[in-house]
Amino acid sequence: MSAQPLPVVPSEVQPIVPKKPPVGPEALEHKQLKRGTWWQKIPAYKAVDEATFLDHAWQAKNSITKVAKLVETIQELVPPGFVEDLEAGMKRAPMSVRVSPYLVALIDWEHPYEDPERIQFFPLGSRLLSDHPKLGLDSLHEQADAPTPGLTHRYTDKALFLPLDTCPVYCRFCTRSYAIGLDTDEVEKVHLRPNDDRWKRAYQYIASRPELEDIVISGGDAYQLRAQHIEEIGEALLAIPNVRRMRFATKGPAVMPMKILTDDAWVDALTRIVEKGRKLHKDVVLHTHFNNAAEITGITEAALGRLFERGIMVRNQSVLIRGVNDSVEAMTLLVKRLGHINVHAYYVYVHDMVQGVEDLRTSVDTAIHIEKNVRGSTAGFNTPTFVVDAPGGGGKRDAHSYEYYDRDTGVSVYSAPSVKPGQLFTYFDPLHQLSVHQQRRWADPREQQAMVEDAVAKARGRAR
């Protein structure tokens, strides 16, 4: 039967009637990325051209590790008293300082106290608060769950492999401040240097446990692994029959995205492992760590575009940090901007209980409020789950899945039936967000005990 021509409709074209009002420019802010030679506003980078700034080796070589080098770089930009404040902060910090020129140039040095990147990477004496009385250095008990050094086996089917202990930058809030970076005045570290024998023991353990299917390769940071090491580790893990999924974890794209544009050997090595995994029907992806939308620039867009073209899936895990992303507006902008560069927003962690960074923590209540408002602002697969990584080794729990939460005392209690059945895990909101009356109770050790016992007893009555 021959096709009949479609009838011609002689009527006028009907106008489209909008059902929603047009959006304002703020709704498209996630697409407005910093472009051009924006780093040249920093005195020391005035003459740094694009090719130099995009060179990852230049970025690593010129990273800031000392106050004197920072002062030389930013010169007169900062307000009076700031440098002394920074020196005081660095003396009390559990993490050593290393900050890439990319991040240094993103900071608004005329207003450094409120800047989200300054808050994450440069400690200030005037902003530090006393630690919560229930805080410990390895609060997640990673070392207690390690059958061999640098391998944590907590969840049944998943292990965390830490091949090295260095990163392209050091974050003030690092959960692994017990191991990452150089020793500081405050902390002598457990070192996890790249070591063939240590790595082989980790592979042997993984191969001996058929239930292990999912391996996270973190650290430290996979950006610091040489291309040859990416391939060695990738090949060794892909060869283990029970391993079905691998994730290379790196903060790199957020703090030094140019490496993806200019370190061809590293990107090619990762691509080969991803492609080999695909042929074996094993999933190999990259996990990264953006915390604020300002970290995503035109350079990031180009870098992540390169990974996307190569079919490399990238997921993001943020930490909820006071002054960085603890508002509905800041988190929504971050999530939308991640979607714009094809990065899946996967998790937002309520800040772990880490030594020396009490000023950065927020409450479980804040997390639940932000999650409620972010959900619905974009597609579900681009919407992060907000989790508490339960201190004591309970693993990640949905922030709102507590068995009991006393917003007055700041004690929340979680269970983890598939990880550690029968146990309860407590998380504590920062004291500075509690009322003066509750802060006084926390100053008394007997009251502390009573508050925790009360919350745990109520949780025990509810847990199923």
Closest CA to 249 of 338, 347, 336: 347
Q: Where are the alpha helices (DSSP H) in 341-430?
A: 364-374
The answer to whether residue 360 forms part of the interface with ligand SF4 (CB under 6 A) is no
**Residue numbers 247-286 binding ligand SF4 by CB under 6 A:** 251
Q: Which is nearer to ligand SF4, 117 or 403 (CB)?
A: 117
Residue 174 or 312 with smaller CB distance to ligand SF4: 174
Smallest distance, Å, CB 337 to ligand SF4?
A: 20
Minimum distance from CB of 245 to ligand SF4 (Å)?
20
Closer residue to ligand SF4 (CB): 109 or 170:
170
Residue 229 beta carbon to ligand SF4: minimum distance, rounded to whole angstroms: 17
Q: Are strands 424-428 and 411-415 parallel, antiparallel or unpaired?
A: antiparallel
Residue 176 or 337: the one with the smaller Cβ distance to ligand SF4 is 176
Nearer to ligand SF4, 289 or 397 (CB): 289
3-state secondary structure of 161: strand
Q: Are 401 and 415 in contact (CB under 8 A)?
A: no
**Cβ of residue 434: shortest distance to ligand SF4, in angstroms?**
27
Query: CB of 221: closest distance to ligand SF4 in angstroms?
Result: 5
CB 138 within 8 A of CB 178: yes
Instruction: Give the span between the Cα atoms of 290 and 30, in whole angstroms.
Output: 14
For ligand SF4, the closer of residues 203 and 349 by Cβ is: 349
Residue 388's nearest CA partner among 337, 426, 343 is: 426
Least separation in angstroms between CB 252 and ligand SF4: 8
Alpha-carbon gap, residue 310 to 74, rounded angstroms: 37
Number of chain residues interacting with ligand SF4 (CB under 6 A)? 9
Cβ atoms within 10 Å, residue 229? 18
Q: Which amino acid is at 197?
A: D
Please tell me the distance from the alpha carbon of residue 274 to that of residue 33, in angstroms, as a whole number: 29
Site for ligand SF4 in 188-247 (CB under 6 A): 219, 221
Judge whether 266 and 227 are in contact, CB under 8 Å. Answer: yes
132-191 binders of ligand SF4 (CB under 6 A): 167, 170-171, 174, 176, 180
Evaluate whether 181 touches 170 at the Cβ level (below 8 Å): yes
Nearest to 275 by CA among 240, 231, 319: 231
Angle CA 252–36–310, to nearest 5: 45
| CB 251 to ligand SF4: min, Å | 4
Stated as kind and residue range, the H or E segment containing 238 is helix 227-238
Provide, rounded to whole angstroms, the least separation between the CB of residue 117 and ligand SF4.
13
Contact residues for ligand SF4 (CB under 6 A)? Answer: 167, 170-171, 174, 176, 180, 219, 221, 251
